[in-house]
Amino acid sequence: MIVALDVDYRDDHALAAAVAFERWTDERATCSWTALTRDIAPYVSGRFAERELPPLVAVLALAPVAPTVLIVDGYVWLAEGVAGLGEHLADVTGLPVVGVAKRARTGAPAVPVLRGASQRPLWVTSHGVADAAEHVRTMHGPHRLPTLLKLVDTLARSLGSQ
């Protein structure tokens, strides 16, 4: 099962969301779930993974399905040999991880992926997933951001209004 993850931050807590689906081209999620994490570390430039990992681990602990691949909003590799959020998550979970970033990062070994009519690429990096960029390119949806990645983003953000 492929599981896409995202986190939204508030003053003193993080709201993590996950959506699971079977195939890269699926239009709909098989299931989705969320987790609230309190006492979040402050943002420190260059140490994003330390802040993001606890909410991601918390939401994965509630998974009603066994993930086989994870997708994160961000980079697996920040530069050649420099671990990003996705690599840290792969280390913690032992699972393959695909990173899908919306902004270019100088030095990151990312593959640009154009989707829909957008002229702005998504930037794809991975740990243990062959053809990760092609998988992201074929994900469902007519826009730059695939349908299920937009869903997990919306789900994480919607929790903040509760």
pTM recorded for the entire structure = 0.94
Bridge partners of residue 122, in order along the sequence: 113
| Cβ atoms 125, 110 nearer than 8 A | yes
Bridge partners of residue 90, in order along the sequence: none
The pLDDT tens digits for 74-110 are: 999 999 999 999 999 999 999 999 999 999 999 999 9
Contacts by residues 42-48 (CB-CB < 8 Å, ≥ 24 positions apart): 48/74, 48/84, 48/85
- pLDDT category of residue 162 using cuts at 50, 70 and 90: very low
Q: Compute the average pLDDT of residues 57-70.
A: 97
All domains of the chain in start order, with CATH? 2-161 (3.30.2170.10)
For 11-25, give the secondary structure using H, E and C: CCEEEEEEEEECCCC
The pLDDT tens digits for 124-150 are: 999 999 999 999 999 999 999 999 999
Bridge partners of residue 100, in order along the sequence: 73, 124
**Torsion, CA 28, CA 119, CA 138, CA 99, rounded to 10:** -80
pLDDT of residue 95: 98
